[in-house]
Amino acid sequence: MQHIQPEKWDLVIKGHTSLFDVKFKDLWHYRDLLAMFVKRDFVSFYKQTILGPLWFFIQPIFTTIVFSFVFGNLAGISTDGAPKYLFYLTGITSWAYFSDCLTKTSTVFRDNANIFGKVYFPRLIMPLSIVVSNLVRFGVQLLLLICMMIYFYFFPEGTFHITPAILLFPVLVLLMALLGLGLGLIITAMTTKYRDLTFLVTFGVQLLMYATTVIYPLSYAREKGYDHIVQLNPMTGVIEAFRYAFLGTGEFTAASLGYSAVVTIIILFLGIIIFNKTEKNFVDTI
């Protein structure tokens, strides 16, 4: 009697898995798909625009001008001695990357329901591709910030200097990405049942910006007696560290950055668990 060899499969799809079974090996195995999604996000977003990638420059420039006029000139809010345009641009650059990661990740299930329902791949690939593709925009805006720093070095309108905290730059970018990813995963999982959340995300992110030190220094919040509330926002510590690294202003402390890191890890952990649970049956509810 001929002996039949058991079949060996490269990939096994299981219907019931643990909440903590994230399959990080699959994420690495599908890294080429991640690169393809990153390219798709970048091309599709600017393909039908007239100015294309120039919007990377236009948006932060106009936002910085408006913030400088409204909050710097009309409201007279201090920038702790730093040039107004640099002060607001550092806050805008860091906040824009975080908010883009959050808002675009928060609609992953809704925007990709057709793909998720037809073919298998690790679902985390999709939100990860958003975080990575947003790095391109962040890099361009960072280049704009450096150019403006060079300009104000020769034509000073205030004082600023790069500090050794610049070495923490990769850590700050990672915290912004993971915090936006974690919150986005939680929201996209909830929107499979509660569609109203999709209308609140963009509005809520804009309101949340005013609870950080994007448009005012932490010293101003302390003068008004709101510094303890503002510091509860984990992005406050990141933005303060970012601004301190590039401009030498702000109230950067190891405790505030540590708090931001701990909150980010907790939110990311919860986001992955909730996302992992929802992706198993979201097709039936979306």
What is the reported pLDDT for 125? 84
**Residue 8 in domain:** no
Beta carbons of 218 and 250 less than 8 angstroms apart = yes
**Residue 7 in domain:** no
**Residues in Cβ contact with 269 at an 8 Å cutoff, skipping those fewer than 6 apart:** 182
**Residue 195 in domain:** yes
**Residue 12 in domain:** no
Query: From CA 209, how far away is CA 216, in angstroms rounded?
Result: 11
Query: From CA 159, how far away is CA 107, in angstroms rounded?
Result: 41
Helices 169-190 and 197-209, axial angle in degrees (round to 10): 150
**Residue 9 in domain:** no
Q: What is the DSSP string of 159-174?
A: -----GGGGGHHHHHH
**Residue 6 in domain:** no
CA neighbor of 109 nearest in space, from 236, 45, 201, 26 = 201
Range of the domain at 185: 24-284
**Residue 224 in domain:** yes
Beta carbons of 131 and 68 less than 8 angstroms apart = no
What is the reported pLDDT for 193? 73
Token pair, residue 54, equals 């120039």
**Residue 11 in domain:** no
**Residues in Cβ contact with 236 at an 8 Å cutoff, skipping those fewer than 6 apart:** 211, 212, 213, 218, 230, 256, 260
Q: Residues 119-124: contacts with CB within 8 Å, 24+ apart? A: 120/11, 120/13, 121/26, 121/30, 121/33, 122/23, 122/26, 122/27, 122/30, 123/275, 123/279, 124/22, 124/27, 124/272, 124/275
Count of the separate structural domains present in the chain: 1
Beta carbons of 243 and 80 less than 8 angstroms apart = no
Residues of the chain with pLDDT under 50: 1, 16
Token pair, residue 88, equals 């607001």
Q: What's this model's pTM, rounded to 2 decimal places? A: 0.84
DSSP alpha helix (H) spans, the chain: 24-29, 31-46, 55-67, 84-105, 108-111, 113-116, 125-154, 169-190, 197-209, 218-224, 227-231, 234-247, 254-278
What is the reported pLDDT for 14? 56
What is the reported pLDDT for 257? 93
What is the reported pLDDT for 74? 87
Beta carbons of 243 and 104 less than 8 angstroms apart = no
What is the reported pLDDT for 233? 93
